[in-house]
Structure 1
Amino acid sequence: MKTRLLRLLHLAHRWLGIASGLLILAWFVSGLVMLYVPFPKLDTEARVARLAALQPDSLAVSPARAAEACPTPARGARLAMALGRPVYHFSGGETACSVWADSGEALVVTPELARAVAQAFLPGARLGEIEAIERDQWTVYSTYRPHRPLLRIPVDDAAGSVVYVSSRSGEVVALTTRFERGWSWLGTVPHWFYFTALRGDDTSLWRRLVLWLPPLALLTVLAGLALGLQRLRLRRRYPRGRVTPYQGLKRWHHLLGLGIGGFALTWLLSGWLSNHPFGLLEFSGLPKGAAQRLAGTPFRPPSDLALLKHQLAAAPGGREAEWYRFDGRHYLEVRGSDGSRRLDDQARPAGPIPPATLAALIAAIEGKPVARAELIHEADLYHYGRRNPVVLPAVRIRLADAEDTTWYLDPANGRVLGRVDAANRLHRWVFNGLHRLDFPPLGALPALREGLITLLCLLGAGLATSGCVLGGRRLLRRPSGN
């Protein structure tokens, strides 16, 4: 009976490995690439740095009046410059809506305007032909939906850049380079199946793939670990003192499996769980209505043009201004090359929000007492940055409940940076801990952590490669009795 079970396990590992070997290899290689090259993204700091300085004197229309030109009510607004003219960018509808702030007319994105905007974003660059697209490989995220169709413009430069202009707002919303695209084909795209055909409006096939393919790989690794341990002999060794009965490539596959198999198992498991299959490892979101309670009032485009000009004059050199709300009041954040400045509805500098104020609001939202509210100046285990810098100082609010629910908020504007309860702590340790080796003391030693991940991924790729070669040899063999 034992011999028969071992034989079945052996056959299962062989054929599961043949079916999933290339997939496992791709995950190891792509995970290594992702460690060093992220998916192309145009972040706020890089985008704002290329904008022209705001010109308060050119404003002739208030945000409230300009918003009347949009088909749906605005839930947010920004002010920037485009081709020497001020423009309001409103958000909240199915599609983005932008209105000229010097005339109150809706901005209409023509090919000529899109080309001029791209030229201003990349001065001196030689632009190619404009192509209207719904999405391509680098714009699959749903965040681009309000701006579709996108106007894709290749750039004849050394970096092989491609710039994407929104057909709704006329803004540059994405910028990629040949380097980013090339490495992402080996990194994020295969790792997360971010292929254009799978990430369109209908993502049901993509969801099925990320639900069922990882278990296939998990079974392969489990069977291999079981066989590897069964064939390992540390005391009664095989002839010539060997711990493995195999030779050649099989020997290396066996030893690599014993050395890296446990990591492969936890890596595959944590990666699969990050997609919350069957409701497992799901996040806990903010309590219903929390954002509205913190804001204290619905967004209303300001109607006081004189106040807006006064606010902008108090923050000279700004390149973009955005309205936000906190505790019933509207504020303006003005971003520039030297950082951000926040002004209240009297054009005065907005000071930081005291932890006690934030604590009172959180207690009302949660319906639970606050155990401790404090201003932290260093990252902790649940509020920290890796690729992106962490927001500090931050207000940390611990509630007096069984789950030790903890909120992190930005004292500059009251924005929620995170909320951690039992479910989110579990996700942090299962995914960030197991999948990214993001746990003490490695979390505080980034060079050592990245070096260890690189080594483990290379060993994992070696294990998968040897399995693929062995599987290929087996398929090319002439049929025998088994």
Structure 2
Amino acid sequence: MTDEDVRLSPHAGRRWHNPAPMKALVSRALYLIHRWLGIATCLPVLMWFVSGLVMLYVPFPKLTTEERLPHLAPIAAEALRISPAAALAACPGKFRSVRLAMVGARPAYHFMLDSGACSAWADTGEPLGPVSPETAQARARDFLGATDVGPAEVIERDQWTVYASYNAHRPLYRIAANDAADSVIYVSPRSGEVLVDTTRFERGWNWIGTVLHWIYFTPLRSGGDSDTWRWIVMGLSFPALLAASSGLWLGLTRLRIVKRYPRGRITPYRGTKRWHHLLGLTAGLFAFTWLLSGWLSVHPFGLLKLNGLPPGAARQLAGGALRASDDLPLLQRQLARAPGAREAEWFRFGGKDYLEISTDTVKLRFDDQAAAAAPILPETFAAAIRSIEKTAIASAELIHTEDLYYYSRSTPRALPAVRVRLADPEETTWYLDPATGRILLRVDSASRAHRWIFNALHRLDFPPLGYSSAWTAVITTLCLLGAMLAASACVIGWRRTRQKKP
């Protein structure tokens, strides 16, 4: 037989292309990848599982509207002497929004400008800020109901004020209270408002919770450019993802259910390696999906990136830019219809201005005649969305329950809401507040992908579970199993690196 006959023979592949060595080579390569990447990333993965478990029970410190309003005194309508438009003269700049609330015993308008926050007294029209350290201490005492607080320290930011939402008020006053909770209060020097409060319990647990999980250390989050932080997250999570995926494949190939190892064992390993193998078979898939979704959460190479609203959408719905009202008698009539008002905020829809007044229990909305504002109809929203999107509307309806995309997470969703679905290939859907006209959510193909690839895989917010006690139990169990898997990897890795011979 000639060489040509051998090459063309149907049995030639068996003689010259035996797949066994290639399979062994791939298996060996995956084994080495899993070993050394596992050694390099076992501590970060352990950190993510433990910190994720802590986050489940202790959220990052934040002052919610529900917590803030009871600390505000009822608005003294009789003390108002200046309209918002007149008070705006004390805050030059491009106007965006305005609220009315009490600061101490006096009413004040809080404006948001393109340049940041600015406040003016509603009884004199004079600028409220800059707030003195002594006044900031008084605000902290009023908020806490405490008499003994420390000095007002001026800071640009710290570990608990890394969010960009505080940028409009920086620098901030940080005031420590001598109370049982070891509270620390942050006050805006521009508005005199308390922005956030923390306790020793929250700060302590968040160091091993949110701060570790999100790698939210102040130096990494102190600037406007988050590229360094993103590359650190990707640089840690991607090798861990490779370690988890290779380990999952190796674990399955070494598992024997039918033709077992000696003494009926399903794993060839002993001791810590045996537990690592079994834990990998139990929690390995979840570890892989959590690492994958966590890596995708920072949108590497543009993956899973969300789209914004169409340009000018909010302004078009509003029917123009919000204007500061110059009608003080109207404001006083509106406040008279809302006893116990704690805060008032202006909004605009369809070319008309409205006032939303918050009490301890309800929100009331009034039109420019001081009458109760009627809810905005789905048909009205549909016409506005059709004009923005330049696309036909498939349906517009008022919904009273959440759906697969509009649902509660850490805070409840506003209901009822208007849902407007477009007749486009992406089935783009808008959710809007019928009370104020505010855009609550816009869902397109990108946000749907993010919902199922990140939210569902990383947070396990599948419809049967939701954010219920069953969901909490499942997340807790999986975090504990994942932590045990990572801890066993750390033990194995430590022993491996301590060996004198590789």
Q: Which TM-score applies when normalising by structure 1? A: 0.97
Identity of aligned residues (%): 60
Which residue of 1 is the match for residue 346 of structure 2? 323
Which residue of 2 is the match for residue 14 of structure 1? 35
Which residue of 1 is the match for residue 355 of structure 2? 332
Note the alpha carbon deviations across 1:303-339, whole angstroms, 9 max, x for none. Answer: 1111111111121210111111111011111111121
How far the C-alpha of 1:124 sits from its partner, in A, is: 2.9
Give the root-mean-square deviation of aligned CA atoms.
1.2
After superposition, where does 1:147-226 map in structure 2 within 5 Å?
Answer: 147-201=169-223, 202-226=225-249
1:48–1:320 Cα contact (<8 Å) kept = yes
Which residue of 2 is the match for residue 352 of structure 1? 375
Note the alpha carbon deviations across 1:399-420, whole angstroms, 9 max, x for none. Answer: 1111111111111111111111
Which residue of 2 is the match for residue 299 of structure 1? 322
Is the partner of 2:154 in helix, strand or coil?
strand
Match for 1:165: what amino acid?
A: V
Match for 2:101: what amino acid?
A: A
Is 1:310 the counterpart of 2:333? The answer is yes
Which residue of 2 is the match for residue 84 of structure 1? 105
Is 1:413 the counterpart of 2:433? The answer is no
Which residue of 2 is the match for residue 449 of structure 1? 471
Measure the CA separation in 2 of the matches of 1:95 and 1:43.
20
Unaligned runs of 5+ in 1: none
Measure the CA separation in 1 of the matches of 2:463 and 2:230.
33
Which residue of 2 is the match for residue 462 of structure 1? 484
Match for 1:104: what amino acid?
A: G
Measure the CA separation in 2 of the matches of 1:125 and 1:447.
39
Which one of the candidate residues 7, 11, 26 is aligned to 2:47? Answer: 26
Match for 1:178: what amino acid?
A: R
After superposition, where does 1:49-448 map in structure 2 within 5 Å?
Answer: 49-108=70-129, 109-201=131-223, 202-443=225-466, 446-448=468-470
1:267–1:435 Cα contact (<8 Å) kept = yes
Note the alpha carbon deviations across 1:57-114, whole angstroms, 9 max, x for none. Answer: 1111111111111131221001111121111100022221011111111112101111
Note the alpha carbon deviations across 1:244-302, whole angstroms, 9 max, x for none. Answer: 11101110001111111111101111111121111111112211111001110212111
Note the alpha carbon deviations across 1:169-219, whole angstroms, 9 max, x for none. Answer: 111001111121111111111111111111001433212112222101101
Is the partner of 1:96 in helix, strand or coil?
strand
Match for 2:24: what amino acid?
A: T
How far the C-alpha of 1:166 sits from its partner, in A, is: 0.6
1:297–1:329 Cα contact (<8 Å) kept = no
1:394–1:411 Cα contact (<8 Å) kept = yes
How far the C-alpha of 1:162 sits from its partner, in A, is: 0.7
Note the alpha carbon deviations across 1:135-170, whole angstroms, 9 max, x for none. Answer: 111000000001111100011112221100011111
Which residue of 1 is the match for residue 62 of structure 2? 41
Runs of at least 4 residues of structure 1 off by over 4 A?
Answer: none
Is the partner of 2:116 in helix, strand or coil?
coil
Is the partner of 1:453 in helix, strand or coil?
helix
Measure the CA separation in 1 of the matches of 2:226 and 2:33.
31
Measure the CA separation in 2 of the matches of 1:50 and 1:389.
21
2:154–2:172 Cα contact (<8 Å) kept = yes
Measure the CA separation in 2 of the matches of 1:92 and 1:280.
33
Moved more, 137-146 or 429-438: 429-438
Is the partner of 2:410 in helix, strand or coil?
coil
Match for 1:113: what amino acid?
A: T
Unaligned runs of 5+ in 2: 1-20
2:137–2:151 Cα contact (<8 Å) kept = no
Moved more, 355-364 or 445-454: 445-454
Which residue of 1 is the match for residue 6 of structure 2? none
Measure the CA separation in 1 of the matches of 2:33 and 2:452.
31
Match for 1:86: what amino acid?
A: P
Which residue of 1 is the match for residue 8 of structure 2? none
Which residue of 1 is the match for residue 14 of structure 2? none
How far the C-alpha of 1:346 sits from its partner, in A, is: 0.9
1:67–1:73 Cα contact (<8 Å) kept = no
Is the partner of 2:137 in helix, strand or coil?
helix
Measure the CA separation in 2 of the matches of 1:96 and 1:378.
36
How far the C-alpha of 1:230 sits from its partner, in A, is: 2.2
Measure the CA separation in 1 of the matches of 2:32 and 2:430.
51
Tell me the matched-pair count.
Answer: 479
Match for 2:227: what amino acid?
A: S
Larger Rg: 2
Measure the CA separation in 2 of the matches of 1:162 and 1:271.
31
